[in-house]
Amino acid sequence: MLLAEALMDRGRYNTGIVSSDMKEAAKELRKKAHMTVGRAKKTAAFFLVNTEEYHSNIYLILGDSSKFDKLSYNPIEEIKREANKTIETINAATNAIHFWAITGDFWPGYLYVNYPAPTYHLAKRLNSVLTPYILNEYRVTSFAKFLSKLKEYPNNGTIASPDEESLFTNVSVGETIDLILERVYRGTSTPTLNIHEEALRTFLEICTRKAPFTTHRGHVYIQKYGVAIGSPLGVLFATFI
C-alpha cells in the first residue's frame, strides 16, 4: 500500500517504468471508486486520475457535435446491412475484387475505438487494397531508408520529430476520401481499381463515418468526423497525399 500512497502523493498523473510492485499498486488503486488507473498510450506506464474528472473530460470531448452524434439505438445491424448490400453488388461484378460478407454478432467499441466494429475487417481489407496508391515521394518506409536519406544532407542541422494531437480523430474524412478517389480513378501514374467508384466511396464512408462506440454509462455515440482509434484505415487516411 505504501507504493500506491506514494503514487497518489506524487500528483494527478504518474508515468514510469512498470514493475511488479507498480502493477500491484495499480490493482489496489483500481479498487478505489474515486480513482481511475489505466495504461498510458504508446508507453508501458500507468496513468492515475480522479474518476469524476476523467468522466467529465470524456463527455466534454463527446459534446463536440461536429465530431460526435449521440444515438438512441444501436446501429450495428443497420451498418451491417448497408455494407453487405455493397459487398454483394461488388462481388457480383466480373473480375471485381472479392470481399467477404459481414456475418456474426458485433457490438460497438468503447470510447471511439474501432474494434470490434462490424466493419473492422472490411477496413483492414480496404487498407491493403489502397496502400499502394499512397505516393512514396515524401515518405520513407523503413528505418534503414531513413538513415540513408540523412546521409544525403550536411551534418550541421537538427533532427526534429513533430507530434500531432489526436491525429486520427482530426483527419478530414470527406476531403481525404475525395483525394483517394481522385488518385485511384483519375491518377495518371496508378492503375484503376477494379471496383466501381461509388461502391468504394460507400465502403470508405461506412468504415469511417459510421463507427459506433459506447461510454462507461452505456451511452451510444457515432463518430462522424475523423477516423476512429484502432481503425485499420487510420494510418492510410492520415498519410494519404
pLDDT digits (tens, 9 = 90+) for 26-81: 666 666 667 676 666 656 666 677 777 777 777 888 888 888 889 899 889 999 99
Residues 56 and 94 placed together within one structural domain of the fold: no
pLDDT at 14: 46
Residues 75 and 188 placed together within one structural domain of the fold: yes
Which DSSP letter does residue 225 get?
Answer: S
CA distance 138 to 239: 10
Residues 83 and 167 placed together within one structural domain of the fold: yes
How distant, in Å, are the alpha carbons of 1, 111, 135 from that of 150?
A: 49, 39, 20
Residues 202 and 92 placed together within one structural domain of the fold: yes
CA distance 104 to 107: 10
Q: By C-alpha distance, which of 196, 199, 174, 175 is closest to 185?
A: 196
Residues 17 and 107 placed together within one structural domain of the fold: no
Query: Phi/psi zone of residue 221: left (φ > 0), alpha (ψ -120 to 50 degrees), beta?
Result: beta
CA distance 107 to 88: 23
Query: Phi/psi zone of residue 23: left (φ > 0), alpha (ψ -120 to 50 degrees), beta?
Result: alpha
Q: How many CB atoms lie within 10 A of CB 32?
A: 12
Q: What is the number of structural domains in the chain?
A: 2
Copy the grid coordinates of residue 36: 481511475
pLDDT at 13: 42
Q: By C-alpha distance, which of 28, 232, 27 is closest to 130?
A: 232
Q: Which of 44, 62, 80 is the last residue of a domain?
A: 62
Residues 99 and 125 placed together within one structural domain of the fold: yes
Task: Determine contact, residues 131/193, Cβ cutoff 8 Å.
Answer: no
Residues 55 and 98 placed together within one structural domain of the fold: no
Residues 90 and 172 placed together within one structural domain of the fold: yes
Residues 75 and 131 placed together within one structural domain of the fold: yes
pLDDT at 237: 87
Residues 98 and 181 placed together within one structural domain of the fold: yes
Q: Which of 62, 83, 106 is the last residue of a domain?
A: 62
Q: How distant is the alpha carbon of residue 201 from its chain centre? A: 19
Helix (H) / strand (E) containing 223 = strand 220-223
Residue 42's domain comprises 2-62
pLDDT at 224: 79
Residues 77 and 192 placed together within one structural domain of the fold: yes
Residues 43 and 75 placed together within one structural domain of the fold: no
The parts of the chain modelled with pLDDT lower than 50 are 1-17
Q: Which of 62, 93, 114 is the last residue of a domain?
A: 62
pLDDT at 4: 41
